[in-house]
Structure formats: C-alpha cells, structure tokens
Amino acid sequence: MISGLKNTTSSWFEAYAALSTSIMILQTAINQLLPLRLRTFVFSILKRFLSRLIASCVTLTIDESWDNCRNQLYVAAKEYLHSKITHANKNLRVGNLVRGEIAMAIQDGEAVEDVFDKIKVNWRFCVKEDELGRQQNQNNPPKLKGMYVLTFSEKDRKKVMDSYLPHVLSTYKAIKEGRKTMSIYNRINNNRSWTPLALNHPSTFDTLAIEPELKKGIINDLDRFLRRKDFYKKIGKPWKRGYLLYGPPGTGKSSMIAAMANYLKFDVYNLDLATFSSDSELMSALRETSSRSLIVVEDIDCNKVVHDRSKAVNVDPMFLKVTLSGILNAMDGLWSGNGDERIIVFTTNHKERLDPALLRPGRMDMHIYLSFCTFNGFRILASNYLDVQSHPSFEQVESLLEKVEVTPATIAEELLKSDDADVVLGGLVEFLEQKEMGGVKKEG
C-alpha cells in the first residue's frame, strides 16, 4: 500500500531545492562578508547539519492506486486527515455533498501536522500526472493522481509502521462504520469513473417480507463473515463472500441488497456489465472499488454472456463485450488483490440459465431464493404498512396465499390503497380470491 519508503521523494526534493536556493543566497552573502577560514568553518557546520537532517527523515508516499487497485491507505488517509484540518490550514478543497455534508480535504502542497503516542508526523498532499494512464490511453487528456506524503523522524519509523498507520486505517474504519448514510456508486461519465450518490433506500432486514428463518440465516452469515478476518487469514483464503439472490421479479432482490448495505453500513457499487466495452475495463472498474462495499450485478441472466461459457464469445457482437471468463477473472483478481472485506451480490430471475462456473461454491457462497409472498412475509408487510399485527381477515389471507402465487411487491401495492386497515385487508382478500377464481395462479 505504501508506494515508496525512501528518503528522497519529490516533496523532499522540493524542500531540498528551496533550501539549496536559500543556501546559495546565503553563500554569496557569507563570501562577501566573512574571511576565508571563518567561511570554511560555517560551511562545514551547515553541511553536517544538512546531512543529519536528510538522514534523520523518512518519507512515505501513499499513491491513489497500488498495483492497479484503489489504495485503501490513500482513502483512509483522506478521511483521517479531514479530522486533522485546523485553522492553520489555509489551502483546502471542499465538495462532495453526497452525505448531506461538505467534505473538506487539504489542497495540493498543503501540510498537516499530527501527533500520535508522543511522535510527530507531517502529512502533505501532492498532485501529479498519471504517467501509466497516459501511456495506456494517449487520446484522452492525462488524468491527475493525488498522493499523500508522510514525513517523520527516522527514530519513529517502527512506531509509524507498526502503530500509526494501523491507527489511521482503524480510525477510517470507525468513521465509515459510524456514518449514517452510505453511497451508491454508478459508472457514468463515459464509464471512466465511479460516481457516488446517497443511498437512500429505506429497506432494512426489519422491513423485508421474507421467512424469519431465512432472514436470521442471512444476518448470521453476514455477521460471521465480518467477524472472521483472522480466520480467513489463517486458512490463507481471501476475505470475501458471494451471494446469489434469485427469484421472480418483485420478490425483493433489490430490497435485500439495500437491507444488506444498511445493515453492514457498506457502500454499494452497481456494476452494469452491458456498459463495459472489454474485460480489462471491467477489471479496472472493480479494482477502483473500495473495501467495505457490496459489488452488485443485477439481472445477470440478462447478460447473455453468463449463460454458457462456451458460447461466451460472438453471441451478439453488438451486445457482448465482456466474457464470463472476464467476469470470473475480475472477481478472483479483485478478491486476491487485498485483505479487505468484499461482498459481491448477483441477482437473477432465472438461476437455471447461469453458467455453473459462476455458481460454484467459492464464487457464490450462498444462494438465496426470494419466493412469492408467504403468510409470514405478509404479516411483516401488514405490520410495516398498516401497523397491524393481527386482524380477523388474516386467516383468509393465510389460506389464500397457500393457493395463489403473488409477489410481495403486488401485496405491498394492495396495502397502499387506503389508510384504513379494514378497507385495505378486505380489498386484499377480494383481490386474492379473484386471482384464485380466475385460475391465474402465477404472476407475470
């Protein structure tokens, strides 16, 4: 994550260059004012002082990306330094209203001092041209990449590496976990970067109309996954989990994703496979996602590519731009890339159409079937929508739901038709009876 551990980074050169210029001016003045022997003495003292200064400082450069992945330490430093900005900082960047608040960061060249366990460190933010990006894509204007430069005394090197940097990372995690709103990232802007929007989906595990046992199983699985960082490390496996949500339209797959994000306080990355023009573009988009995120591929059955690996190429040249192997490689690459938690969620209305390679354990760890509305599901909806826990019509609804297949989305719509619970539930019974009599047992 740290892109360089060296005494001579660009910022040091800048400081050194500035110092050298001052020395040259000083040298001219000294030459004119002091006798030769005194001059030699002054210069030898200055030289010794400077070489000690250089040898006693360590500089770490933390680039925006590391091994083509988003550098989590860079992201952490950005959030961490937000809380370290003081009135002494006159040169700031502001923006990002995603969470309803103004984000602040230090501007190019601005420095921030931090004290940790009796050691003093200096942070500086710098901007440089992305050389690699320019070589790879000469038609586009060069992208600017930021980097944080951390300078401290050589004697504190061990403490910085062993305690201070982990402290920056854990503070960042705590900030993220304490956040009330998450973001949902989409690829717009010619697919060149992820753009965040506030994730305002109100769905939670409490509002999800699914069988209580299933709900409990999913929550336990998520909790176990989060707890097991050290376990994954011990057994030498990447710390990741894949969920496949399948079931008819309107049974709550999108609601489940929002509930997971709200429960875990994870951001969501919405991966629309159809918008990628190549496997490598998909790979780099995945690498730019941050840790503690849900990477979501909705309606994967609509992406012809994932039906059958052998036919993945040349099925529909207009449509088909990423291959199944591309997706699988990107997923494997993403997960082996760093030790941070990743969850990937695929949704489909037609599980049977997916290539088995995608479904095998290790890729999709848990297959979750979201069914037509059960009576237990209905009770959750009635409680959420009408604030009603029991009602004389419940018995009829229960017996009708055993015979008629209706999605929670349709039931939810029926429950919204009036504020009066008696009216709504009477209407729902009538609606279900009509469905039963009409012989329309299946929706859609």
Ligand X SMILES: Nc1ncnc2c1ncn2[C@@H]1O[C@H](COP(=O)(O)OP(=O)(O)OP(=O)(O)O)[C@@H](O)[C@H]1O
Minimum CB distance to ligand X, residue 301 (Å):
10
Position 326 contacts ligand X (CB under 6 A)? no
Give the CA diameter of the chain.
113
Report in angstroms the alpha-carbon separations of 237 from 229, 301, 340, 362, 411: 10, 28, 12, 10, 42
Position 349 contacts ligand X (CB under 6 A)? yes
Residues 6+ apart with CB under 8 A from 401: 373, 374, 375, 378, 432
- The nearer residue to ligand X, 49 or 369, going by C-beta atoms, is 369
Minimum CB distance to ligand X, residue 253 (Å):
4
- One DSSP character per residue, 173-231 reads HHHHHH-S-EEEEEEETTTTEEEEEEE-----TTT--S-HHHHHHHHHHHHHHHHTHHH
Would you tell me how many other CB atoms lie within 10 Å of the CB of residue 168? 23
Q: Cα separation of 70 and 284, whole Å? A: 9
Build a one-symbol-per-residue string for 402-421: x at contacts with ligand X by CB under 6 A, - elsewhere.
------xx--x---------
In this chain, which of 146, 242, 250, 326 binds ligand X, going by CB under 6 A? 250
Minimum CB distance to ligand X, residue 226 (Å):
23
Position 199 contacts ligand X (CB under 6 A)? no
In this chain, which of 166, 212, 217, 249 binds ligand X, going by CB under 6 A? 249
Build a one-symbol-per-residue string for 213-242: x at contacts with ligand X by CB under 6 A, - elsewhere.
------------------------------
Position 346 contacts ligand X (CB under 6 A)? no
Nearest one of 322, 359, 323 to 344, comparing CA atoms: 359
Residues 6+ apart with CB under 8 A from 399: none
Position 209 contacts ligand X (CB under 6 A)? yes
Size of the residue set binding ligand X (CB under 6 A): 15
- The nearer residue to ligand X, 335 or 378, going by C-beta atoms, is 378
Minimum CB distance to ligand X, residue 254 (Å):
4
Which pair of structure tokens corresponds to residue 332?
A: 């494997």
* Three-state SS at 244: strand
Enumerate the H helices of 127-164 as residue ranges: 131-136, 157-159
Position 3 contacts ligand X (CB under 6 A)? no
For tokens 């999913």, the residue is 218
- The nearer residue to ligand X, 238 or 408, going by C-beta atoms, is 408
Position 255 contacts ligand X (CB under 6 A)? yes
Minimum CB distance to ligand X, residue 331 (Å):
21
Position 208 contacts ligand X (CB under 6 A)? yes
Minimum CB distance to ligand X, residue 412 (Å):
4
Instruction: List phi, psi (to 5°) of 288.
Output: -85, -5
Residue 232's DSSP bridge partners are none
Q: By CB under 6 A, what part of segment 64-93 binds ligand X? A: none
Torsion of CA 373, 374, 375, 378, to 10 degrees: -30
Minimum CB distance to ligand X, residue 203 (Å):
7
- The nearer residue to ligand X, 329 or 371, going by C-beta atoms, is 371
In this chain, which of 252, 286, 340, 346 binds ligand X, going by CB under 6 A? 252
* Position of minimal CB gap to ligand X: 252
- The nearer residue to ligand X, 150 or 273, going by C-beta atoms, is 273
Measured in whole angstroms, how far is the alpha carbon of residue 316 from the centre of its chain? Answer: 32
- The nearer residue to ligand X, 273 or 412, going by C-beta atoms, is 412
Minimum CB distance to ligand X, residue 222 (Å):
17
Q: Cα separation of 199 and 294, whole Å? A: 12
Position 253 contacts ligand X (CB under 6 A)? yes
**CA gyration radius, the chain:** 29
Q: By CB under 6 A, what part of segment 304-323 binds ligand X? A: none
Residues that bind ligand X (CB under 6 A): 207-210, 249-255, 349, 408-409, 412
